[in-house]
Amino acid sequence: MTDPVKYLLVDDLDENLLALEALLTREGLVLHKARSGEEALELMLRNEYALALLDVQMPGMDGFELAEFMRANDRSRHIPIIFVTAGTGDASRRFRGYEAGAVDFIQKPIETDVLRSKSNVFFDLYEQRRQITAQRDELASLGAALRAADQQKNRFLAVLAHELRNPLAVLASGLNILERAKEGVDADQIRMTMRQNIAHVTRLVDDLLDINRIERGKISLKKEMVRLDRILPAALDLAQPAIEAANHRLQVEMPGEAITLEADPARLIQIISNIVGNAARYTPQGGEIEVRVASSDGFAVIEIADNGIGIPPEQQARIFDMFEQSDNGLGVIGDGLGIGLALVKQLVELHGGEIRLQTSQPGEGSTFEVKLPIAK
């Protein structure tokens, strides 16, 4: 809701203040009244005014002196001033008023229509200025967001180039060796290495396509009743190469009773294997990875914990953002484009569940928690 516009009315006589208040009252306008110049200056320290109507002839600090104080203060110098006077309107008097910063004079007795008309001009000007300020702030915010998006795009393109260059170099090298067909070459090993790199590139492309489909609302889940204890082994098998390559120890805890979900089996496997694969990649050689499954309040709870490099506190709020990768300076940085967890989050939410980083300490590891509704 927009804050009301405020006017400041300054006059040492209560009856004059009440008369001005009656004439100016309108929707969206708040009128503050001061009975002396000192009281007016105090109010201006706490409020932003669209217009000040000052009586010229006041005991102590008169209207001209108050206007001069206002113009000398950064907070109040921009406030338009209309002098309300019962005195003579000679040229010298008006000159002093304009020199003090007045935009207009109104003679008493006040003509109602004239006062309202002039007042409405400043009301509208103030509203327009607020709109311009809001638009300027919005444009500044959009500009900052665009700059951040551009930096993110450049970072993504650099990572994508790196991720594609390496497997393509392996494929080119493998083809070159096979074409030469020298004796003593282990062709089967070369083909296996080439297949692994093709699988890596395929995974990158599949992740990009999945993100695009989800953002366009084109992805659809093929849900069916599945038991979690039968899905989990397939998911762990996909992450097994990364686990074995780093010589990690994998421990799995399952509840005694079966947990049934209404889920897309392929996407469920993708969710679990992605998180476990991340744990394997971000854990130094010989680490430990635990997968714990339980049920709680109608949800299947899957916890995946590791004792890897952990996530720095300043990165934890962004870990599910697109193209984010953890790097805590320990020299262990996962491969991929940094879209795995962003994709997992969207897939989990499509299933009516939620994912969160339960805990993470740099150098001590991380624990992720996935909650999915149990089929009724």
Q: What digits encode the pLDDT tens for the residues 100-154?
A: 777 888 888 888 888 899 999 999 999 998 899 889 999 999 999 888 878 877 7
203 inside domain: yes
Residues 253 and 158 in one domain: no
Per-residue pLDDT at 280: 92
Q: Who's near 44: CB < 8 A, 6+ residues apart?
A: 8, 70, 73, 75, 76, 79
Binning the chain into helix, strand and coil, the percentages to the nearest 5 are 50, 20, 30
Q: Is a pLDDT exceeding 70 seen at residue 337?
A: no
Q: Is a pLDDT exceeding 80 seen at residue 374?
A: yes
13 inside domain: yes
Number of domains in the chain: 3
23-27, 85-89, 318-322, 333-337: the lowest-pLDDT one: 333-337
135 inside domain: no
Triad 310, 311, 317: Cα angle to 5°: 150
Structure tokens at 275: 């998180």
- Tell me the pLDDT tens digit for each residue of 84-114: 887 655 666 677 777 777 788 888 888 888 8
Residues 173 and 77 in one domain: no
Domain-terminating residue out of 110, 125, 143 = 110
127-131, 199-203, 272-276: the lowest-pLDDT one: 199-203
Q: Who's near 305: CB < 8 A, 6+ residues apart?
A: 279, 289, 290, 292, 365, 366, 367, 368
CATH of the domain at 49: 3.40.50.2300
Residues 234 and 338 in one domain: yes
Residues 26 and 55 in one domain: yes
319 inside domain: yes
Per-residue pLDDT at 90: 63
Q: Is a pLDDT exceeding 50 seen at residue 172?
A: yes
Residues 245 and 299 in one domain: yes
Q: β-pairing, 5-10 with 81-85?
A: unpaired
Structure tokens at 182: 């020298």
Q: Are 305 and 289 in contact (CB under 8 A)?
A: yes
Per-residue pLDDT at 92: 66
- Tell me the pLDDT tens digit for each residue of 60-88: 888 888 988 898 888 888 899 998 887 65
Per-residue pLDDT at 166: 73
d(CA 223, CA 263): 4
Give 162's pLDDT tier (boundaries 50, 70, 90).
Answer: low
Q: Is a pLDDT exceeding 50 seen at residue 328?
A: no
Residues 250 and 173 in one domain: no
d(CA 280, CA 235): 13
Give 187's pLDDT tier (boundaries 50, 70, 90).
Answer: confident
Distances (CA, A) of 126 to 13, 32, 50, 80: 28, 16, 6, 10
Structural domain that includes position 30: 5-110
Per-residue pLDDT at 145: 86
Nearest Cα to 280, choosing from 336, 199, 355, 198?
Answer: 336
Arithmetic mean of pLDDT over the chain: 85
What pairs with residue 365 in β-bridges? 361
pTM of the shown model: 0.55
**For residues 173 and 366, which has the higher predicted lDDT (pLDDT)?**
366
Residues 241 and 323 in one domain: yes
d(CA 212, CA 348): 16
Structure tokens at 72: 């000398």
Q: Is a pLDDT exceeding 60 seen at residue 336?
A: no
Per-residue pLDDT at 159: 66
Sign of CA dihedral 261, 263, 265, 269: negative
Residues 194 and 275 in one domain: no
Residues 348 and 320 in one domain: yes
Structure tokens at 211: 């993100």
CATH of the domain at 190: 1.10.287.130
Domain-terminating residue out of 160, 195, 216 = 216
Q: Are 328 and 274 in contact (CB under 8 A)?
A: no
115 inside domain: no
Residues 169 and 294 in one domain: no
Domain-terminating residue out of 176, 191, 216 = 216
143 inside domain: no
6-20, 279-293, 329-343: the lowest-pLDDT one: 329-343
d(CA 48, CA 2): 14
Q: Which amino acid is at 336?
A: G
Sign of CA dihedral 69, 73, 76, 82: positive
- Residues 163-190: what's their mean pLDDT? 80
Residues 196 and 254 in one domain: no
116 inside domain: no
Residues 184 and 258 in one domain: no
Nearest Cα to 53, choosing from 19, 27, 91?
Answer: 19
CATH of the domain at 308: 3.30.565.10
- Residues 342-352: what's their mean pLDDT? 90
134 inside domain: no
Q: Who's near 291: CB < 8 A, 6+ residues apart?
A: 232, 236, 250, 251, 252, 253, 272, 276, 302, 303, 304
